[in-house]
Amino acid sequence: MTAEIFIARHGQNEDNVNGILNGHRDLPLTKVGREQAKQLGEGIKDMDLHFDAIYTSPLSRAKETAEIVSDVAGLPQPAVYDRLIERDFGIMTGQPIAKIEELCAPDTIKTDTITYFLSPEGAETFPDLIQRGKEILDYIGERHTSGKVLLVCHGDIGKMIYCAATGKDWHQVLTDFHFGNGDLIDISGQGEAHKIKMPQFNH
């Protein structure tokens, strides 16, 4: 037996709002991003979801999101787990999102919301991330044999953790669903991505 695992993506950060590819860049959450994190915490609390542990990427946008969620929902304080860090974007780190096709085509996958670059110089590939996802799941499985665990991470590594959990093809997963800021997904035993619908709050 292993714990039921959920993944959440951090709230909006400064690179997100400015259309910059962040990867390992470490800019903070925006005001909107902190509000998204607060709403994620309120949604978790409203649905009476209790997490026995929270693990977060070391990057500040994920770490702050995890801390806000923990405080709002009354959950355990998050532990930093370095393997949850976002994909290394290599030479695309810090580039404008608008230049992905110019710099990486035809080695891209385009969806309605995101254009993914596949293997620019110095970047982790999606198969690399799946392997890291398997290591993450093994790490969590060794430490948690029951209950629920929340992993607060990022878009690309989050989707590949989902691939590692389900065995689905990564090309398909990239186009199947959008993993947006503040989204929560239950990846345990799901044939399809089970995105949790958050209650809407007005502030």
Catalytic residue from among 42, 64, 67, 86: 86
Q: Is 10 a catalytic residue?
A: yes
E strand or H helix at 89:
none
Contacts of 16-22 spanning 24+ positions with Cβ under 8 A? 16/181, 19/96, 19/97, 19/98, 20/94, 20/95, 20/96, 20/97, 21/89, 21/92, 21/93, 21/94, 21/95, 21/96, 21/97, 21/100, 22/61, 22/86, 22/89, 22/93, 22/94
Query: What DSSP string describes 160-194?
Result: HHHHHHH---HHHHHHH----TT-EEE-TT-SS-E
Question: Quick check: helix, strand or coil at residue 156?
Answer: helix
Catalytic residue among 10, 64, 67, 124: 10
* Token couple for 6: 């959920």
Active site residue 178: no
| Terminal Cα-to-Cα distance of the chain (whole angstroms) | 40
**C-alpha torsion sign, points 185, 186, 192, 196:** negative
Pairing of strands 184-186, 4-9: antiparallel
Catalytic residues: 10, 86
